[in-house]
């Protein structure tokens, strides 16, 4: 059922707001949108099958303010809900907000001003976080990595080819999009229970001709609340990989673009894999992820096709990946001989990676995070004196030689 109000003015900005059982926070969010200093907008509220009082709250606002429109659908997930809003949008620009966050009064005004000033396809602003479980703000310096952004007011993926996937976070609420850009490239959210936003966000950033940034927190994002998207990760613990694969597939349809951004993409992808497993609190979800890791190592991430040194954007990631792989193989139900063969893959990778770090002057960065694991693997290598550890087509180390060579690393 659809509830619509006719707005006589053509809105400049379409705000898409998916809502699912959000009654606890919804009114404060709607008030923060209603109180924007820039007023020429429409709010497309998509009730995604809520079974609480969310729909009634939305209807009250739509009856009182003609800028608010309500769409109601069966529960289909946040991606489908955002697509519903996108299909109904009429504004020159569109932004996807969350129903439990708080927005600074100047959010739309500042985003719109930047888009108009630089003719931007995408405008990104900084956001802050609010821990709902403790009632305290959270340091969120990492929401925009300014060190990876070109020192110029407008740029695109070609200007920052190595960092387009790591300079920003793949969530939807801190970005304003030119709607014609979204439509011309037919960008929509995939039907996934989680991680659907990273596909939309990073594909948009990779394709955008002009990106501008507002390095000011304009959004307070609520974290650690019951029923949040992070809670849904346990229901489909491998959705992150499916979304990553969909993104890679789209990028590869544009060979020139993928060639320029593949190193940054694959480095981001292994980091995203590691983050997903490390932060999975649900035991069943974590075991499903580790089982998948033990079985095929998530092949589309191409971890087995490149040397460890290739994954050097974040110097700690490859060692953390190896630690997870070791854990996964420890949980693997394969035969002992099969497990041992799999484990042998870890040792040469990590030793080669550690040597590469030494040569690149990045050892200090890794000492705390990788020291213990390095010693563990080297000790394992020494316990196999009859074997050689392959480090590439033209080099081999025995376990003892590797341990001696590593003495300068400890």
Q: What's the pLDDT score for residue 295?
A: 87
| pLDDT computed for residue 226 by the predictor | 56
Residues 6+ apart with CB under 8 A from 58: 19, 26, 30, 45, 47, 68, 70
pLDDT per residue over 220-243, tens digit each?
888 876 545 445 789 999 999 999
Query: How many CB atoms are located within 10 Å of the residue 317 CB?
Result: 21
Indicate the burial class of 34 (C-beta count within 10 angstroms; 0-12, 13-18, 19 or more).
Answer: middle
d(CA 152, CA 149): 8
What CA–CA distance (Å, rounded) separates 308 from 49? 46
For residue 262, the model assigns a pLDDT of: 95
As a dihedral over the C-alpha atoms of residue 134, residue 30, residue 182, residue 302, rounded to 10 degrees, the angle is 10
| pLDDT average per 10 residues of sequence, the chain (410 residues) | 47 97 94 96 97 96 97 95 98 95 95 98 94 81 93 96 94 96 98 94 98 95 65 88 96 93 96 96 94 88 89 92 92 55 54 54 49 47 38 28 29
- Centre a 10 Å sphere on the Cβ of residue 136 and count the other Cβ atoms it contains: 9
196 near 243, Cβ under 8 Å?
yes
The residues facing 221 across adjacent strands are 129
Is the separation of the CB atoms in 290 and 328 below 8 Å? Answer: yes
Angle between helices 346-360 and 317-331 (to 10 degrees): 170
**Packing angle of the helix pair 196-207, 78-88 (nearest 10 deg):** 50
Q: Sign of the CA dihedral 289, 227, 168, 80?
A: positive
Domain ranges of the chain: 2-236, 290-408
Classify domain 2-236 by CATH architecture: Alpha-Beta Complex (3.90)
């Amino acid at each position: 059922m659809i509830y619509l109000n006719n707005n006589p003015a053509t809105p400049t900005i379409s705000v898409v707001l998916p809502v699912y059982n959000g009654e606890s926070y919804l009114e404060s969010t709607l008030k923060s949108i209603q109180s924007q200093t820039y007023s020429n907008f429409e709010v497309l509220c998509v009730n995604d099958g809520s079974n609480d009082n969310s729909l009634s709250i939305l209807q009250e606002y739509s009856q009182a303010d003609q800028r608010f429109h309500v769409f109601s659908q069966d529960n289909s997930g946040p991606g489908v809900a955002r697509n519903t809003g996108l299909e109904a949008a009429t504004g020159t620009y569109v932004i996807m907000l969350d129903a439990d966050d708080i927005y600074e009064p100047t959010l739309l005004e500042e985003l719109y001003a930047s888009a108009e000033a630089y003719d931007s396809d995408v405008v990104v602003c900084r956001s802050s976080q609010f821990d709902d479980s403790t009632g305290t703000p959270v340091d969120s310096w990492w929401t925009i990595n300014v060190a990876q952004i070109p020192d110029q007011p407008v740029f695109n993926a070609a200007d920052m080819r190595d960092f387009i996937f790591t300079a920003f976070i793949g969530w939807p609420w801190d970005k304003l999009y030119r709607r014609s850009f979204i439509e011309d490239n037919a960008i929509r959210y995939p039907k996934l229970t989680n991680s659907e936003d990273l596909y939309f966000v990073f594909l948009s950033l990779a394709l955008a001709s002009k990106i501008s940034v507002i390095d000011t927190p304009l959004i307070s994002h609520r974290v650690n609340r019951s029923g949040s998207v992070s809670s849904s990760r346990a229901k489909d613990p491998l959705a992150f990989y499916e979304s990553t694969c969909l993104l890679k597939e789209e990028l590869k349809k544009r060979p020139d673009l993928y060639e320029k951004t593949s190193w940054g993409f694959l480095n981001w992808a292994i980091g995203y894999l590691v983050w997903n497993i490390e932060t999975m609190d649900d035991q069943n979800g974590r075991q499903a992820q580790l089982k998948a890791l033990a079985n095929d190592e998530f092949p589309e991430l191409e971890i087995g096709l490149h040397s460890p040194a290739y994954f050097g954007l974040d110097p700690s990631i490859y060692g953390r990946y190896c630690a997870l792989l070791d854990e996964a193989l420890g949980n693997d139900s394969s035969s002992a001989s099969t497990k041992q063969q799999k484990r042998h893959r870890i040792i040469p990778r990590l030793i080669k990676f550690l040597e590469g770090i030494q040569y690149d002057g990045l050892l200090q960065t890794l000492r705390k995070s990788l020291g213990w694991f390095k010693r563990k693997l080297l000790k394992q290598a020494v316990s196999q004196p009859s074997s050689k550890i392959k480090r590439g087509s033209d080099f081999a180390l025995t376990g003892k030689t590797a341990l001696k060579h590593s003495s300068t690393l400890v």
